Amino acid sequence: MSPRQPVVSGERLIKALRKEGWEVVRQRGSHVRLKKPGRRHALVVPLHREIRRGTLAGILRDADLSADELRRLLD
């Protein structure tokens, strides 16, 4: 597939991450914190209509997901 990241909203990203086992722990304002059992660090996802490329890249890196894996989870 294409190496480019998909354009995704915060809500769609959280939905995809939940399929991978991440759980919503808390929300403060427009930022949602997710944790995964067995993982040491949490992810913070902004609830924006469109997540910027750099922000999305950082979230995917921290979640150990590739752009292709994210596309699969979004379908």
pLDDT digits (tens, 9 = 90+) for 10-30: 999 999 999 999 999 999 999
Domains, the chain: 10-74 (3.30.920.30)
Q: Do residues 34 and 17 touch, judged by C-beta distance below 8 A?
A: yes
pLDDT tens string 36-51: 999 999 999 999 999 9
Q: What is the mean pLDDT of the chain?
A: 93
